[in-house]
Amino acid sequence: MAKLTPKQKAFCDYYIETGNATEAAIKAGYSKKTAKEIGAQNLTKLNLRKYIDERMGQKQKERIASQDEVLQFLTSVMRGEVTEQVPIVFEQDFEMVDKSPTIRDRTKAAELLGKRYLLWKENVQLDGDLNFNIQIDYGDDDDGDNG
């Protein structure tokens, strides 16, 4: 990552958190009087911009599941390896217990995996009337006679 001063790094981290350059500058310790200008200037500095972009890219990776993560999850559901907490209610109380995926959940996971790996093809049946009529127009029937 880009080399930054502690104040610049703080600015960048607060900017990523808030999305507001002025607020980030104030939180990072810049003067309130100059925070708006400093914030705007900081966003034009290439090394700060690079740091912000790199951190945003990392955060994006952390928030959004990768293809492999999705496929691993679907596989673990299909195999019944994951559980979910559900309440079991007694007269005046309840207890949380682990519940395995239902057959419906496992089948849906298998279906989604099958679609991903093209294990089967959708059958589409088209019905319709294919009759058609061709007409050829050769012009007038007369052989050039005008009479």
pLDDT in tens, 84-109: 999 999 888 999 999 999 999 999 99
Q: What is the pLDDT of residue 146?
A: 55
User: Per DSSP, which regions of the chain are E strands?
Assistant: 84-89, 94-99
For residues 18 and 61, the model is more confident at: 18
Q: Which residues are registered as beta bridge partners of 87?
A: 96
Query: In 10 A of CB 108, how many CB atoms?
Result: 15
For residues 147 and 114, the model is more confident at: 114
Q: Measured between alpha carbons, how far is 29 from 121 in angstroms, rounded to an integer?
A: 61
Tell me which residue of 108, 96, 7, 112 sits closest to 51, measured CA to CA: 7
Evaluate whether 18 touches 3 at the Cβ level (below 8 Å): no
Which residue, chain included where needed, has tokens 């559900």?
86
Average pLDDT over residues 60-80: 88
Q: Measured between alpha carbons, how far is 36 from 120 in angstroms, rounded to an integer?
A: 59
Q: What is the pLDDT of residue 60?
A: 80
Q: What is the pLDDT of residue 47?
A: 95
Asked whether residue 43 carries a pLDDT value surpassing 70, the answer given is yes
Q: List domains and CATH numbers for the chain.
A: 6-63 (1.10.10.1400), 67-116 (no CATH)
Q: What is the pLDDT of residue 19?
A: 92
Average pLDDT, the chain: 87
Q: Measured between alpha carbons, how far is 41 from 30 in angstroms, rounded to an integer?
A: 12
Average pLDDT over residues 47-62: 89
Average pLDDT over residues 29-36: 94
The reported pTM is 0.47
Predicted confidence band of residue 61 (pLDDT cuts 50, 70, 90): confident
* Tokens read off for 94: 């309840």
